[in-house]
Amino acid sequence: MSKKLKITSIDIYKSDIELKEPFKIAIMEISASQSVFIKINTNEGLYGFGEANPFWGITGETQAINLAGAAELAKLLLHKNPLNIEKMMREIDGFLVHNSTLRSAFDMALYDLLGKTAELPLYALLGGEKRTFWTDNTIGIGDPDYVAQKAVQYKNQGFQAIKVKLGTTNEMDIKRIRKVREAIGDDLPIRVDANQGWNYKTAVEVLNALEPMGVEYCEQPIAYWDYENLRRIRQNTSIAIMADESLFDHYDAFKLASMGCCDYFNIKLAKSGGIHTALKINAIAEGAGIICMVGCMMETRLGLTAAAHIVSARFNIKFADLDGYLMLKEDPIIGGAQYNIGKIDLPDTPGHGADVDPAFLKRCECITIK
């Protein structure tokens, strides 16, 4: 059927969902999940859904920027065949450089359409199998006693790994992890993320102090651009180093791998510009002996479902940090990945399998490009 599939219109929705509590990391603080949903409609009635959840301090995008950019990208795609993703993404990536979060929403909607056309769930479309897996749960920057209390709460709920945001002062960061380890005992791995908050010296000092505390890995200790010092930090600690903000696309992946900067990659669709490039990053990682995690911003279950399919489809992706939705006050998604505490189960419906509740969409501002 679908050789003649054509994009007839694209709906752009502004979605605002409050968080259960404000979420603070070293470089920014948010109190709401502000997404842009992209719905690509076709002449055959099939549609694809994608989500952009911009973190301005990381990608330089805001919801307003994404809304404006989405209208421009939508015009570019009208009347074209959505199934030729290689060509579509070349046009999208070439037309609007940077803006990786917005580009990922279009990519996600295109893969949703491809899966629906092929009548395959996304993990199968990518040649993978369905794997059930766990996400960790993240605690934002806070007072060490509060962080420790949250860690106990997550442990008691059944989470298998706790991620703690750091990147403040040496003294407070070390105190946070010491308190968390004392509070939860030795069973669970602790993952830490400094979100660029340290410099080379601070990073080495804090990581050396954390070495006996059972830290599984440290994400992005220093500024995203400082590859040379990231490599030096890795040489001076036994804690594994994971690149996050330093890693957007496959070009970054190649440089980080070539320079020996890190042990792990944190792939996020919001940074890679979507699934198409995420798979390239994972392939480079696999060739370099680097293990991947798939992480998130503060997406709803729609964006997280797309990310979960990638985890399921690739053996080299061994960690998942897909907890954004757990922090939202509202879940407007129908279908999609189901969360049992932190255990994630994917749907078998074609495409990514997540839809946005029409009642929720009615409350969202919408523009249609046709």
Which stretches of the chain bind Mg ion, using CB under 5 A? 193, 219, 244
Torsion, CA 370, CA 122, CA 312, CA 290, rounded to 10: -60
CB 19 within 8 A of CB 53: no
Cβ distance to Mg ion smaller for residue 61 or 244: 244
Catalytic one among 165, 179, 216, 271? 165
Query: Minimum CB separation from Mg ion for residue 63, in Å?
Result: 21
Cβ distance to Mg ion smaller for residue 136 or 244: 244
Catalytic one among 244, 245, 252, 323? 244
Query: Minimum CB separation from Mg ion for residue 215, in Å?
Result: 14
* Catalytic residue status for 219: yes
Query: Tokens standing for 50?
Result: 């994608």
The amino acid present at 23, given as its one-letter code, is F
Distance between CA atoms of residues 214 and 203, nearest Å? 17
Query: Tokens standing for 279?
Result: 């798979």
| Strands across the sheet containing 291-294 | 137-139, 162-165, 190-193, 215-219, 240-243, 264-267, 291-294, 317-320
Query: Minimum CB separation from Mg ion for residue 324, in Å?
Result: 12
Cβ distance to Mg ion smaller for residue 95 or 134: 134
Cβ distance to Mg ion smaller for residue 19 or 67: 19
CB 134 within 8 A of CB 160: yes
Cβ distance to Mg ion smaller for residue 179 or 268: 268
Query: Minimum CB separation from Mg ion for residue 128, in Å?
Result: 24
Cβ distance to Mg ion smaller for residue 106 or 154: 154
Query: Minimum CB separation from Mg ion for residue 102, in Å?
Result: 20
* Catalytic residue status for 165: yes
CA distances from 304 to 150, 182, 294, 311, 323 (A): 23, 32, 10, 11, 8
Query: Minimum CB separation from Mg ion for residue 229, in Å?
Result: 17
**220 CB-near residues (< 8 Å, 6+ apart):** 193, 194, 195, 196, 242, 243, 244, 245, 246, 266
Catalytic one among 11, 219, 252, 321? 219
Catalytic one among 11, 93, 107, 193? 193
* Catalytic residue status for 244: yes
Bin 98: left if φ > 0, else alpha if -120 < ψ < 50, else beta. Answer: left
* Catalytic residue status for 14: no
Bin 214: left if φ > 0, else alpha if -120 < ψ < 50, else beta. Answer: left
| Active centre residues (catalytic) | 165, 193, 219, 244, 268
